[in-house]
């Protein structure tokens, strides 16, 4: 097993949530998560047909050994401590190495779990993992101006709004403007202290 695929054994443990890379065994729980949050997530997602909400799609999304091995994307399930319920997901994707050492964050949370601080905790855990576990130097997040909750999440963790991108992503049938947020290793260490890389 390569170093990257051994990451499937990693758990990021917080006070109220645990993160781990999703696997094929998570497909039924992931499909349930997608279905029960379809309407809630629609305004923030590309248009998805009915065939998106199938076991085949769920299996393809969680079967990520090749993507992890190729250092392309890491999709974490966010699990509530105590119940073990899948309550959200978080992606680190579009990873660029070389002089950039950058990745992009994307995430969503179960509608029933909104406003409880779970996502802030998950983003903080995943930020530390990306900077130290994956050796990235910088993480970015693109957030629609109307998505105030998501902006508050990254700001609480220490991301800084760096700019504005007009008509940036095609979301639910419309080209949407986005605010551009980022955090660097240096800023993370100012906020949370240095760790061994």
CB atoms within 10 A of CB 4: 16
pLDDT at 49 over 90: no
* 106-121 mean pLDDT: 95
Strand bridging mode 138-143 / 102-109: parallel
Which are the contacts of 178, defined by CB distance < 8 A and separation ≥ 6?
142, 143, 144, 145, 164, 165, 168, 169
Instruction: Say how far apart CA 31 and CA 75 lie, in whole Å.
Output: 15
pLDDT in tens, 160-170: 999 999 999 99
Q: What is the pLDDT of residue 1?
A: 37
pLDDT in tens, 144-188: 999 999 999 999 999 999 999 999 999 999 999 999 999 999 999
Instruction: Say how far apart CA 170 and CA 175 lie, in whole Å.
Output: 4
pLDDT class of 6 with cuts at 50, 70, 90: confident
Q: What is the phi/psi pair of residue 85, to 5°?
A: -70, 140
pLDDT in tens, 70-88: 999 999 999 999 899 999 9
**Could you tell me which residue, 39 or 1, shows the higher pLDDT?**
39
Which are the contacts of 194, defined by CB distance < 8 A and separation ≥ 6?
none
Q: What is the pLDDT of residue 50?
A: 78
What class has domain 5-192?
alpha beta
pTM for this model (two decimals): 0.94
Domain boundaries, the chain: 5-192
pLDDT at 196 over 90: no
* 42-67 mean pLDDT: 92
Helices 118-128 + 185-192 axis angle, to 10? 120
Q: Which residue intervals of 21-135 are DSSP H helices?
A: 27-36, 38-41, 55-62, 65-69, 118-128
% the chain with pLDDT above 70: 97
Q: What is the phi/psi pair of residue 101, to 5°?
A: 50, 55
């Amino acid at each position: 097993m390569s170093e990257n695929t051994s990451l499937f054994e990693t758990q990021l443990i917080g006070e109220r949530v645990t993160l781990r890379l999703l696997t094929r065994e998570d497909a039924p729980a992931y499909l349930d998560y997608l279905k029960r949050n379809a309407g809630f997530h629609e305004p923030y997602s590309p248009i998805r047909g009915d065939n998106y909400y199938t076991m085949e799609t769920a299996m393809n999304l969680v079967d990520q050994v090749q993507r992890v091995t190729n250092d392309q994307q890491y999709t974490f399930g966010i699990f509530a401590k105590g119940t073990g319920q899948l309550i959200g997901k978080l992606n680190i994707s579009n990873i660029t190495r070389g002089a950039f050492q950058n990745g992009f964050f994307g995430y969503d949370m179960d509608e029933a779990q909104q406003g409880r601080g779970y996502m802030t905790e998950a983003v903080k855990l995943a930020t530390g993992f990306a900077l130290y576990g994956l050796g990235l130097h910088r993480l970015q997040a693109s957030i629609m101006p109307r998505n105030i909750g998501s902006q508050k999440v990254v700001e609480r963790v220490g991301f800084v709004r760096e700019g504005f991108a007009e008509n940036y992503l095609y979301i639910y049938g419309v080209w949407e403007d986005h605010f551009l947020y980022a955090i660097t290793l240096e800023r993370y260490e100012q906020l949370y202290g240095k760790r061994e890389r």
